[in-house]
A and B are shown apart, each in its own frame.
Chain A
Amino acid sequence: MVLEIVVMIKQVPDSQEVVIDPVTFTLNRSAARNVINPADENAIEAALRIKDKVGAHITVITMGPPFAESALIDCMSRGVDDAVLVSDRAFAGADTYPTGLTLAACIKKLGKYDIIFAGEESTDSSTGHVGPGVAEFLGTDQASYTSESWYDNGFVYAKRELEDGTEVVKMKPPTLITVLTNANDPRRATLRMKIDATKKGIKTMTLADLGMPPEWVGLKGSPTVVKSMKAIDEKKREGKKFKLEEIPKLVDELIEKKIISI
């Protein structure tokens, strides 16, 4: 049986091109072109490396507007086999909860899944909720903050980068893995694969295809309510200078202010 891998990707405005409106302090997203969320590029590469080693069938999915098509074709041009765009007006305004729920429903619809990859977090909202959310909705194991993962003899292994070291976890599929930004060096699309991908095209799923009640998705299904937003003025920090021989005094002060502890 071939290993089934699903990669979840999100389109985000290119952070290098996002302009912050000097008056309202909001992001002017329209000015920036859309790119694949950087961590998701690494998630795709992680999936492709497993496919290179042991063979797999990879499906990439995204929930978003129709213009996500070119990003999906781009994924297929690197070696991903199939792509699904989950798109419906009803999904608009989703917060992280219905986003995860919708993606989980899509993955179930696809049939068998062994490994699900997600980026650690997006660059435009950066909650890091969606990956773990999907794992919870599907009831699978999960490994977050991973820099590397592999498949061997029926088990999925993932190397997690933690504050005090690294941890390798061994899991039985199905499992969900979130991948750190810059975990690997993503490969580029080739012309041959781009031609094949363009011919093959992507699949689309709507709310009706997923068979979810409309009140579970989009704005209606979102428990978060944004009450207000304001730009935060950067507080000028008061600096304090210490001479070299005063370092013990500095340490004392830092301990006193609970900035460090020994």
Chain B
Amino acid sequence: MSEFDVIVVGAGPAGASAAIKLATSGSSVLLVERGDPPGSKNVSGGVLWGDSMGSVIPDWEKTAPMERYVEAKGVSFLTKDSKISIDFRSRKLQERRSGYTVLRTKLDQWLAKKAKDSGAMVAAGITVDKLAFKADQVIGVEQDGDVITSDVVILAEGANPRVAINSGIREKLVDRDVAIGVKEIIKLPEKTITERFNLTSPKMGFASEYVLGFLDGGVKAGGFIYTNKESISLGLVISMKEMRENNNTRSFDLIEQFKEHPYIAPLIEGGRVDEYSAHMVQEGGIKSVPQLYGNGYMIVGDGAGFSFSNGMVLQGMNYAIASGIAAAESAMKAKIKSNFSKGSLSSYEERLKSSFVLQDLMNFKGIEDVTWSDMIHRGIPNISEELFLSLFSENGQPKKHLYNNLIRSIGSSEVPRKDMIINMYRMLRRM
């Protein structure tokens, strides 16, 4: 007899959702989290897109510690002197559902409490060392020499899956599959934020991604700004490969350059940096997804490579929650059959394939080649800067047709025209 039906390793959105789902359905669950309190190890902030949470906590929109509802979504290209943006605002966006900005320290603590209230045992401040095996069946976890047993282990350890690697169930991460995310929480009064970002009420928020085409040495990185109630989450994501190719550029230098940009600085003026953190981001797409299940275990969330970033949105929490729930459902089904073998848990992958989790990853295969391309980081920003400069300036010269302006602007870009065309095609296909 195992001590628990399921042990969940990691209380991020993936693990907590799995634990809540299982405990609510009457399974005995142990949720183990390294941080004490849960959330203290996580990079605060981000946008929780969609309604994945609704299927574990139906009233979450009323009770969860959300910051602001995203009514305005931006995508901008930044060059040294210019900012070219889409700033999309629509009352229809609210009807269709966008997302809420969240602070992870608050959200994760709330989720852990929900798990506890639903009957899960939450052990915070404990780091699991590895999986425990009997022959080739996972029978629980190992910590400080002790083995704690369960029928199923759900690994929800996030973007740095050390337990899975140490237990030999997945490969080590390679540079091209990981990026580094750095983030600051900048304090500003609620009213200032609402005014600066032209929001219709203090409940409404702005979220934007930025292509940073102007960084020293041509380093490619993607920036973001999300508004919380009384703070702004500002940060950037840079691929590990890009870091290394640029002699280990320091991410905090880059974040300073982003903050000092002429059209970013006014947004954060007068703010005080309250928190600073760095975290890994999975960027490998479908090819970095490991074997997702085996005898007695399943892998969920970032640890399974479930995240999506196309330069316009960065999503992971919604995939984390959806995959956590899918794993919980498969564990429950396995319990009914009293069969915890690989074959029995394969229903987990089936569930993912029929949901947006794996479908998005499959549909956007190879998108990382586009997001980190010269075209996105230099081509488009430079061309559009040139184009808009010629369109919007008046220097007494005869006006040209838009088409001629565009051709001239493309010609002025340093990115070879052939590369531009190839990437343009890829982008249209893959985005």
Specify which of B121, B125, B128 is in contact with A195 (CB 8 Å cutoff): B121
B32 interface residue (CB < 8 Å to A): yes
B148 interface residue (CB < 8 Å to A): yes
Q: How far is the CA of A37 from the CA of B124 in the complex (A)?
A: 19
The CB with the most chain B CB atoms within 10 A, among A70, A74, A192, A198, is that of A192
Q: How far is the CA of A195 from the CA of B124 in the complex (A)?
A: 11
Q: Is B37 a contact partner of A33 (Cβ separation < 8 A)?
A: yes
The CB with the most chain B CB atoms within 10 A, among A74, A189, A195, A198, is that of A195
A194 interface residue (CB < 8 Å to B): yes
The CB with the most chain B CB atoms within 10 A, among A74, A189, A191, is that of A191
B144 interface residue (CB < 8 Å to A): yes
Q: Is B125 a contact partner of A190 (Cβ separation < 8 A)?
A: no
Q: How far is the CA of A194 from the CA of B32 in the complex (A)?
A: 10
**Which residues 77-121 of B have a CB within 8 angstroms of A?**
121
Q: Is A190 a contact partner of B126 (Cβ separation < 8 A)?
A: yes
Q: Is A191 a contact partner of B148 (Cβ separation < 8 A)?
A: yes
Q: How far is the CA of A188 from the CA of B146 in the complex (A)?
A: 14
B-side contacts of A195, CB under 8 Å: 3, 30, 121, 123, 148
Q: Is B128 a contact partner of A191 (Cβ separation < 8 A)?
A: yes
Q: Is A191 a contact partner of B143 (Cβ separation < 8 A)?
A: yes
Specify which of B36, B121, B143 is in contact with A192 (CB 8 Å cutoff): B143
Q: Is B126 a contact partner of A191 (Cβ separation < 8 A)?
A: yes
B-side contacts of A194, CB under 8 Å: 123, 125-126
B413 interface residue (CB < 8 Å to A): no
**Which residues 150-190 of A have a CB within 8 angstroms of B?**
188-190
B-side contacts of A33, CB under 8 Å: 37, 40
Given pairs A194-B125, A195-B121, 16 additional interface contacts (CB within 8 A):
A33-B37, A70-B37, A70-B124, A188-B144, A189-B125, A190-B143, A190-B144, A191-B123, A191-B128, A191-B141, A192-B143, A192-B144, A192-B148, A195-B30, A195-B123, A195-B148
Q: How far is the CA of A192 from the CA of B144 in the complex (A)?
A: 9
Q: Is A191 a contact partner of B32 (Cβ separation < 8 A)?
A: yes
Q: How far is the CA of A74 from the CA of B36 in the complex (A)?
A: 10
CB-nearest residue of chain A relative to B109?
A33
The CB with the most chain A CB atoms within 10 A, among B30, B36, B37, B123, is that of B123
Please give the distance in Å from B69's CB to the nearest CB on chain A: 25
Encoded as 1 (CB less than 8 Å from any B CB) or 0, chain A from 32 to 44 comes to 0100000000000
A-side contacts of B121, CB under 8 Å: 195, 198
Encoded as 1 (CB less than 8 Å from any B CB) or 0, chain A from 189 to 204 comes to 1111011001000000
Q: How far is the CA of A23 from the CA of B143 in the complex (A)?
A: 47
B-side contacts of A189, CB under 8 Å: 125-126
Please give the distance in Å from A92's CB to the nearest CB on chain B: 24
Number of interface residues of A (CB under 8 A): 11
B-side contacts of A188, CB under 8 Å: 144
Q: How far is the CA of A190 from the CA of B32 in the complex (A)?
A: 11
Q: How far is the CA of A36 from the CA of B169 in the complex (A)?
A: 38
Q: How far is the CA of A102 from the CA of B143 in the complex (A)?
A: 38
A-side contacts of B128, CB under 8 Å: 191
Q: How far is the CA of A191 from the CA of B3 in the complex (A)?
A: 13
CB-nearest residue of chain B relative to A74?
B125
Q: How far is the CA of A33 from the CA of B37 in the complex (A)?
A: 9
15 A-B pairs with CB atoms under 8 Å apart are A33-B40, A70-B36, A70-B124, A74-B125, A188-B144, A191-B32, A191-B128, A191-B143, A191-B144, A192-B143, A192-B144, A192-B146, A195-B3, A195-B121, A195-B123
Q: A190-B144, A192-B143 are in contact. Are A198 and B40 (CB under 8 A)?
A: no
Q: How far is the CA of A216 from the CA of B155 in the complex (A)?
A: 52
Encoded as 1 (CB less than 8 Å from any A CB) or 0, chain B from 331 to 367 comes to 0000000000000000000000000000000000000
**Ranked 4 nearest A-B pairs via Cβ:** A191-B143, A192-B146, A190-B144, A194-B123
Q: How far is the CA of A201 from the CA of B160 in the complex (A)?
A: 33
A-side contacts of B36, CB under 8 Å: 70, 74
CB-nearest residue of chain A relative to B145?
A190
Q: How far is the CA of A32 from the CA of B148 in the complex (A)?
A: 33
Encoded as 1 (CB less than 8 Å from any A CB) or 0, chain B from 128 to 149 comes to 1000000000000101101010
Q: How far is the CA of A74 from the CA of B40 in the complex (A)?
A: 16
Please give the distance in Å from B23's CB to the nearest CB on chain A: 14
Q: How far is the CA of A188 from the CA of B32 in the complex (A)?
A: 15
B-side contacts of A190, CB under 8 Å: 126, 143-144, 146
B-side contacts of A191, CB under 8 Å: 32, 123, 126, 128, 141, 143-144, 146, 148
A-side contacts of B148, CB under 8 Å: 191-192, 195
Q: How far is the CA of A74 from the CA of B148 in the complex (A)?
A: 18
Please give the distance in Å from B335's CB to the nearest CB on chain A: 20
**Which residues 44-99 of A have a CB within 8 angstroms of B?**
70, 74
Please give the distance in Å from A78's CB to the nearest CB on chain B: 11
Please give the distance in Å from B368's CB to the nearest CB on chain A: 37
Q: How far is the CA of A195 from the CA of B31 in the complex (A)?
A: 11
A-side contacts of B125, CB under 8 Å: 74, 189, 194
Please give the distance in Å from A102's CB to the nearest CB on chain B: 27
B-side contacts of A70, CB under 8 Å: 36-37, 124
**Which residues 33-49 of B have a CB within 8 angstroms of A?**
36-37, 40
Please give the distance in Å from A149's CB to the nearest CB on chain B: 26
Q: How far is the CA of A53 from the CA of B146 in the complex (A)?
A: 22
Please give the distance in Å from A201's CB to the nearest CB on chain B: 12
Q: How far is the CA of A190 from the CA of B128 in the complex (A)?
A: 10
Q: How far is the CA of A194 from the CA of B124 in the complex (A)?
A: 9
